[in-house]
């Protein structure tokens, strides 16, 4: 049975790399019917940011990454919180000391600061001195004793890795305040929580040999490792909180849909075998396979994310889109008798963000100043002359329409075009231009008639005739 955990440290906002780790960790478990756990690694109180834990909960909830188990919190289960599990870690650290895999270090801050890197000074303290120091409450940390030799392991993405232990330092396992470092708590908890697959960013690849040595020293079975490729910005630099790169919340604030973000993030390092690019979390869970993970860095591509967002709006039902667009439409359209739901259905496939809507519908309330050349369209074969003729011809027809419905207007206009024996565009482009008063509109002439109503449509056609006649 696969068991995975997402183990964030609450040190800041949930940036894209964190969210991708959470998503892949979830998928590794869920694609095999396994268990997904959330563990907050908060033993380093100095690095903690106040509301970071709440942001983690909120983000996972919005993203739909629901964790499966945890300690009982008032009848329900909450996530595992390392700072509430302190006694577990001390016990294992003492065991390591007893077995010769770790040691007490009494070096002062001043001594450590005078060194480039720790010189393993306390490895060789006599047991008498250690006992005396402990008795006198001299502050200490517990350090891992890195043995000579090589550490080998296999990562499911990066393959076989072998490291000379000389490159590893005698890292601190328990700090002077009695709390474990996250490097140590991480190993102990992965064992206690029976995590079978460790999924995390490749920045932890270099720490993994130290973890492996701890697993061995503690006689813990070694889990499978799945390290995820770096995500780099479009400039080729590593994405990071420090560099101010996008957090999940920033993207939401910019107008991206949570599902679109998750969908896009799923593609940062994973190639589905069927080349599909749009899928929801359930579909992702079905197609996800560790073999599809790439080890080369993934590039965060804003244009691609925008495309995904656009696809999500297109895919959305008209009712759901109206829930999102109604307010901004109502705020931006004051002309009476406008069917906002209808406008909503017309702009749905044209938006990347909801905030694009005002500039798509501004022509409904306002007309824009335009010049005659707006009627010239090469592909439609229109020029100022034939546009004027078309509009002059159709004006009385429009004026005579009584049943102002989409079907009737459509049929009337198209049968009239037939009688003129002209190309559709030669009539439709001038109409579209006259009605929208802009070079682009979210819909064609027939829909524009419906949007604007009869009086306003006639007014705008007359204005165009006037302009083209002078
Ligand atoms: N606590 C680490 C972090 O915040 C994660 C370590 C891991 O996943 O093993 O990135």
Q: Rounded to the nearest whole angstrom, what is the distance from the C-alpha of residue 8 to the centroid of ligand 1?
A: 5
Residue 134 pLDDT exceeds 90: yes
Count other Cβ atoms within 10 Å, centred on residue 320. 12
Q: Are 342 and 438 in contact (CB under 8 A)?
A: no
Q: Rounded to the nearest whole angstrom, what is the distance from the C-alpha of residue 35 to the centroid of ligand 1?
A: 18
Helix (H, G, I), strand (E, B) or coil at 180: strand
Please tell me the predicted confidence (pLDDT) of residue 74. Answer: 86
Task: Work out the percent of the chain whose per-residue pLDDT is above 70.
Answer: 99
pTM beyond 0.95: the answer is no
Task: Render pLDDT for 175-194 as a digit per residue (tens, 0 to 9).
Answer: 999 999 989 999 999 999 99
Alpha carbons 11 and 86: distance in angstroms, whole number:
19
Q: How far is CA 315 from the centre of its chain?
A: 19
Q: Rounded to the nearest whole angstrom, what is the distance from the C-alpha of residue 466 to the centroid of ligand 1?
A: 69
Residue nearest to atom 2 of ligand 1 (CA): 8
Kindly give the pairing relationship between strand 172-174 and strand 141-144: antiparallel
Q: Rounded to the nearest whole angstrom, what is the distance from the C-alpha of residue 183 to the centroid of ligand 1?
A: 9
Residue nearest to atom 6 of ligand 1 (CA): 7
Q: Are 252 and 219 in contact (CB under 8 A)?
A: no
Please tell me the predicted confidence (pLDDT) of residue 47. Answer: 81
Pocket of ligand 1 (CB under 6 A): 7-9, 41, 182, 186, 200, 204
Please tell me the predicted confidence (pLDDT) of residue 228. Answer: 97
Alpha carbons 412 and 400: distance in angstroms, whole number:
10
Cβ-in-10-Å burial (0-12, 13-18, 19+) of 382 comes to buried
Please tell me the predicted confidence (pLDDT) of residue 241. Answer: 62
Task: Render pLDDT for 192-222 as a digit per residue (tens, 0 to 9).
Answer: 999 999 999 999 999 999 999 999 999 999 9
Alpha carbons 364 and 223: distance in angstroms, whole number:
62
| Ligand 1 nearest atom to the CA of residue 201, by list position | 8
Rg of the Cα atoms in the chain: 33
Q: Are 18 and 199 in contact (CB under 8 A)?
A: no
What is the band of 73 on the pLDDT scale with cuts at 50, 70, 90?
Answer: confident
Count other Cβ atoms within 10 Å, centred on residue 314. 13
Helix (H, G, I), strand (E, B) or coil at 172: strand
241 is catalytic: yes
Task: Render pLDDT for 287-315 as a digit per residue (tens, 0 to 9).
Answer: 999 999 999 999 999 999 999 999 999 99
What is the band of 87 on the pLDDT scale with cuts at 50, 70, 90?
Answer: confident
Catalytic residue among 58, 86, 238, 241: 241
| Ligand 1 nearest atom to the CA of residue 200, by list position | 8
Q: What's the whole-number mean pLDDT along residues 125-142?
A: 97
| Ligand 1 nearest atom to the CA of residue 186, by list position | 9
Please tell me the predicted confidence (pLDDT) of residue 244. Answer: 62
Please tell me the predicted confidence (pLDDT) of residue 245. Answer: 67
Please tell me the predicted confidence (pLDDT) of residue 301. Answer: 93
> Would you state the structure tokens that stand for residue 107, as one six-digit string?
């070096």
Task: Render pLDDT for 235-293 as a digit per residue (tens, 0 to 9).
Answer: 888 776 666 667 899 999 999 999 999 999 999 999 888 888 999 999 999 999 999 99
Please tell me the predicted confidence (pLDDT) of residue 68. Answer: 97
Please tell me the predicted confidence (pLDDT) of residue 243. Answer: 66
Residue 223 pLDDT exceeds 90: yes
Sign of dihedral through CA atoms 271, 272, 277, 283?
Answer: negative
Residue 170 pLDDT exceeds 80: yes
353: left (phi over 0), alpha (psi -120 to 50) or beta: beta
Please tell me the predicted confidence (pLDDT) of residue 242. Answer: 64
């Amino acid at each position: 049975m696969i068991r995975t955990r997402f183990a964030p440290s609450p040190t800041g906002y949930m940036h894209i790399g964190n969210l991708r780790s959470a998503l892949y960790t979830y998928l590794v478990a869920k694609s095999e019917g396994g268990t997904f756990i959330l563990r907050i690694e908060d033993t380093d109180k100095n690095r903690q940011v106040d509301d970071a834990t709440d942001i983690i909960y909120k983000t996972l909830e919005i993203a739909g990454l629901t964790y499966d188990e945890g300690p009982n919190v008032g009848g329900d289960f909450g996530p595992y919180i390392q700072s509430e599990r302190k006694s577990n870690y001390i016990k294992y650290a003492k065991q390591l000391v007893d077995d010769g895999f770790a040691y007490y270090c009494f070096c002062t801050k001043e001594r450590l600061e005078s060194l480039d890197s720790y010189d393993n000074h306390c490895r060789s303290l006599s047991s008498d001195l250690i006992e005396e120091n402990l008795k006198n409450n001299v502050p200490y940390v517990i350090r891992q004793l890195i043995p000579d030799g090589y550490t080998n392991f296999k990562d499911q993405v990066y393959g076989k890795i072998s490291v000379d232990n000389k490159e590893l330092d005698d890292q601190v396992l328990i700090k002077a305040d009695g709390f474990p470092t996250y490097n140590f708590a991480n190993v102990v908890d992965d064992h206690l929580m029976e995590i079978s697959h460790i999924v995390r960013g490749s920045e932890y690849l270099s720490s993994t040999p130290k973890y492996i040595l701890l697993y061995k020293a503690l006689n813990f079975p070694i889990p499978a490792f799945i390290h995820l490729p770096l995500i780099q910005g479009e400039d080729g630099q590593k994405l990071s909180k420090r560099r101010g790169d996008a957090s999940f919340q920033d993207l939401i604030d910019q107008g991206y849909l949570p599902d679109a973000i998750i969908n896009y993030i799923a593609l940062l390092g994973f190639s589905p075998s069927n080349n599909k690019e749009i899928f929801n979390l359930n579909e992702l869970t079905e197609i996800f396979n560790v073999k599809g993970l790439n080890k080369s860095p993934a590039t965060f591509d804003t244009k691609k994310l925008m495309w995904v967002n656009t696809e999500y709006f297109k895919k959305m039902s008209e009712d759901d889109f109206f829930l999102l667009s109604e307010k901004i439409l109502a705020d931006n359209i004051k002309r009476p008798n406008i069917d906002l739901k209808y406008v909503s259905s017309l702009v749905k496939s044209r938006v990347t963000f909801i905030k694009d809507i005002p500039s798509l519908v501004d022509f409904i309330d306002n007309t824009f100043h335009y010049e005659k050349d707006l009627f010239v369209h090469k592909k439609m074969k229109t020029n100022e002359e034939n546009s004027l003729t078309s509009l002059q011809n159709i004006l009385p027809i429009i004026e005579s329409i009584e049943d102002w419905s989409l079907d009737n207007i459509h049929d009337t206009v198209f049968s009239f075009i037939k009688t003129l024996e002209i190309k559709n565009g030669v009539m439709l482009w001038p109409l579209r231009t006259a009605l929208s008063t802009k070079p682009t509109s979210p819909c064609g002439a027939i829909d524009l008639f419906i949007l604007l109503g009869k009086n306003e449509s006639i007014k705008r056609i007359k204005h165009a005739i006037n302009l083209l006649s002078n």
